[in-house]
Amino acid sequence: MARFELVAAFAVAALVATPQSAFAQQHATRFGENLDALPGALRVPLPVAPATLLAVSGGAGYAYTEPVLRQNDQHHRAFGSLAIAVRPLSWLAFALRFDGRYDAHTINGRSDDGIVGDPRIVLRAGGRVAGAFGLGAQASLWAPGASAPSIVPAAFSVDMQAFGGYVPAHGRVALVGRAGFRLDNSAQSAPNAAQLSASDRLSLGVSAFHAVLVGVAAVGRFGPVEPFAECTADILVGRDAPIGASPVHFVGGVRVHPRSSLHLHPGLVLDVSPSARASLAPGAPLTDTTPRVAVMFTLGVGFPSPREASPAERAAGRARNTATAGAGNASTTAGDAEGEVRDPSGAPVADAVVLVRRGEQTVLELRTDAQGHWRARGLASGDYSVIVRGASGAERSVPIRVGGSTAARAAVTIETVTSAAGAQLRGTVRSFNGSGVRATIRIVEANRTVVANEDGSFRIPVEPRSYTVEFSADGYQSQRRRVTVSDNGVVILNIDLRPRRGGRAP
């Protein structure tokens, strides 16, 4: 037990001591949460900050284990999980999670059932450290019990893992891997293992062996749809460890992100385990017999809220207000600020980061809604700067002055693709006589409409993918073009519009 406490304390101390600069992440990619209420596939974490300061994640499902006792047996499981996570810093998050399951067994016509519950505490640090490359570390303390509700202190176990990979701030697919170690004392929750029935051994999900944790995952984001897939293995280690029966999982799933003021994403997960089966005989060491197949419905909810100023920031703000009030430059009354963020075409930019700063201190951190709007309430009167950061990495700063009966406003135009990607649609729309046409250009898949300049020229930043582009103007026949834009690609579309029959071109 002393060895466990020493290792767990070292892991937690190492994570907390990680410097903020190593893991600071300016732009939180909107990936969904796993069962820890933190970004990830199912078991493999993602090295990105959670999209919201507070998140809740839950799941419920059914699992099936094939006959493993050779006694005309059947095994069914109903299970659920509930977690809440808090992100106090952009690189640091905590989570509390509870897993529960109900197992029903039929062996030679006789029924047996039981309930087991496991609470967990999770500490995670991580983020992008160089461009699209991210790193992270996580420690999970879990408390297996003999039944629900019960906690056996001697059975406390800890999972320690490092993870990292390619997680672009603006891209379609993240590729990550994990490696770690499980210090597994869970078998201490069943000290009389030789007296357990075969069904109890199957239900407890505990192990007498430590494990090396490995896994890889791919998580995509295609509009509101987020598919993911992963492969993980918990390789059992220790004397007489049944390595061939190590739990292996192949997981596929999808989460959906409907537009909402909440970060709401329901999901569906399929988990298949091809693992061999260790002995369940009374004299054999305890091992975790994972279900052969499990289906789970998940739901994640994020609660975005402005980051309130820290006590030090509030004290500094009060000091500045006191100093400026004496000079007649500011008052102590509160006021509001609001604004909107749009791209160069005039379309609203959702989920842009908005920082409200006074001097060098960040007073509030917000995100734009689906219409590109933001609002900060209760600001002390005075001069501020509003810094807007798009998902592309582009940044704009606008000065505002708060005070009076109306809210201060700041309208910001910002690029919506990264300068590194540089993907564009560009060209000119002309009539057959060579004059420019101020045509309407619609990108069908993006549901986005842009109007060409007076000379017919246009330049539209886009994400790399295939598009259907429509060109239309009064008095002309519409045209459609199918194009594919690659990374760093610029597609030139020079269009000649024909006059519409029976009409007159302007």
- Return the domain boundaries, the chain: 2-302, 311-413, 424-497
DSSP strands (E only) in 167-323? 173-183, 210-220, 225-237, 248-256, 263-272, 293-302
**pLDDT score of 422:** 64
Burial 90-105 (b: 16+ CB within 10 A, else e): bbbbebebbbbbbbeb
Q: Given strand 408-413, what is the order of strands in its sheet?
A: 373-380, 334-342, 408-413
Instruction: Supply the mean pLDDT for the chain.
Output: 79
Domains 311-413 and 424-497 belong to one CATH topology: yes
d(CA 301, CA 85): 11
Dist. CA 304–CA 267, nearest whole Å: 20
Give the range among 28-42, 140-154, 252-266, 310-324 with minimum mean pLDDT.
310-324
Residue 131 or residue 355, greater confidence:
355
Tell me which CATH code domain 424-497 carries.
2.60.40.1120
Is the pLDDT at 394 greater than 80? The verdict is: no
Q: Taken in order 457, 463, 465, 469, is the CA torsion positive or negative? A: negative
Cβ contact 124:92 at 8 Å: yes
Residue 245 has pLDDT above 60, yes or no: yes
Mean pLDDT of 367-387: 84
* Higher per-residue pLDDT: 452 or 391: 452
Q: What are 395-409's pLDDT values in tens digits?
A: 678 888 887 777 788
Q: Is residue 77 within a helix (H) or strand (E), and if so which, with residue range?
A: strand 73-89
Residue 42: the pLDDT is 94
Q: What is the dihedral of CA 32, 36, 37, 39, to 10 degrees?
A: -30
For residue 6, the model assigns a pLDDT of 40
Read off φ and ψ for residue 31, nearest 5 degrees.
-90, 155
Please work out, in degrees rounded to the nearest 5, the angle formed at the alpha carbon of residue 149 by the alpha carbons of 144 and 153.
Answer: 40
Is the distance from CB of 242 to CB of 236 less than 8 angstroms?
yes
How confident is the model over 303-325, as a mean pLDDT?
Answer: 44
- Mean pLDDT of the 35-64 span: 91
- pLDDT band for position 293 (cuts 50, 70, 90): very high
When pLDDT is averaged across residues 28-36 and rounded to a whole number, the result is 78
pLDDT, average across residues 61-77: 88
Among the listed residues 249, 18, 55, 35, the one whose alpha carbon sits nearest the alpha carbon of residue 135: 18
Say how far apart CA 166 and CA 176 lie, in whole Å. Answer: 6
Q: Is the pLDDT of residue 39 over 70?
A: yes
Q: Is the pLDDT of residue 281 over 90?
A: no
Can you tell me the mean pLDDT for 308-337? 46
Fold observed for domain 311-413:
Immunoglobulin-like (2.60.40)
If pLDDT is split at 50, 70 and 90, which confidence band does 236 have?
very high
Quick check: pTM over 0.85? Answer: no
Side-chain half-sphere of 39: how many Cα atoms within 13 Å?
34
| Per-residue pLDDT at 5 | 44
* pLDDT for 501: 67
Residue 213 three-state SS: strand
CATH architecture group of domain 2-302: Beta Barrel (2.40)
Reading the block at residue 367, the tokens are: 């995100």
Closest residue by Cα to residue 441 from 419, 460, 423: 460
Q: Is residue 70 helix, strand or coil?
A: coil
Q: What is the mean pLDDT of the segment spanning 322-344?
A: 61
pLDDT of residue 506 exceeding 60? no
For residue 453, what pLDDT is reported?
85
CA distances from 188 to 45, 132, 260, 503 (A): 28, 43, 46, 86
Q: What is the largest CA-CA distance in the chain?
A: 93
User: What three-state secondary structure class fits 339?
Assistant: strand
For residues 238-242, average pLDDT: 89
**Would the pLDDT of 53 be above 90?**
no
Across the range 267-292, mean pLDDT stands at: 88
pLDDT of 18 reads 39
Q: Is the pLDDT of residue 505 over 90?
A: no
The segment with the largest mean pLDDT, out of 114-123, 267-276, 319-328, is 267-276
Q: Which residue has the higher pLDDT, 427 or 279?
A: 427
Kindly indicate the confidence band of residue 420, based on its pLDDT and cuts at 50, 70 and 90.
Answer: very low
Instruction: Look at residue 190 in the predicted model and tell me its pLDDT.
Output: 75
Q: Which is nearest to 98 in space by CA: 31, 151, 48, 159?
A: 151
* Calpha distance 176→188 (Å, rounded): 33
